[in-house]
Amino acid sequence: MAGRVHIVGAGLAGLAAAVRLAGAGRDVTIHEASPQAGGRCRSYLDSELGCRIDNGNHLLLSGNRAALDYLERIGAAASLSGPAVPRFDFCDLVNGERWTLAPGSGRLPWWIFSPRRRVPGTNAADYLRASSLAWSGPDDTVPTRLDTGTPLFRRLWEPFAVAALNTEIESASARLLWRVIVESFGAGEADRRRQSGQPRSDDVDAAGHQNRTIRKARAAAPARA
């Protein structure tokens, strides 16, 4: 197939598509209405604070394989940092309670049987009920498959779904959430440790990543942005 490929939108999806297409030898043009590329993933220099501010703290889990592959392709994987083992700190804004979610090292979720590793106020059966997501239809939303009145839903599944799927919980896909759970919590600790992280505090430079994307695309094939 020949001809120039036009990509509408220079968010992460558009930039990642441009790199892949250019790498395959295709001519690419990216169309973006905003003055900068990156979509919601961008940074800017705050003159009053004298430092670079990241527009949102982007947490990457093992299930975010496409995003991690994109960072590898543009040479920005080293800009991520992460804990030696996966630990997720939570704070309940309603009552101020804090806790740490500590998934286990294996693919079987033995950690749900430990009160010290799971969400306070929950039991192992609460987590096992989430397996109902596996049988979700293409139009099923998360609230139609999970009990929204439980502490586990309010304290884990709802914020996790909103963060991972980037949409309101009422319209979040139950089938897609199950895939994220399997590829993240079900991946085993070694895989999560290898593939989880967030931008380094001293290297939060979305603009730099975007520039590397354009250079990478241009190196492979002519591109306009």
Give the pLDDT of residue 128: 93
Say if strands 98-101 and 198-199 run parallel, antiparallel, or are unpaired. unpaired
Average pLDDT in the chain: 80
| pLDDT value at residue 5 | 93
Which domains, and CATH codes, for the chain? 5-57+201-224 (3.50.50.60), 88-193 (no CATH)
| pTM for the full predicted model | 0.66
Residue of higher predicted confidence among 135 and 67:
135
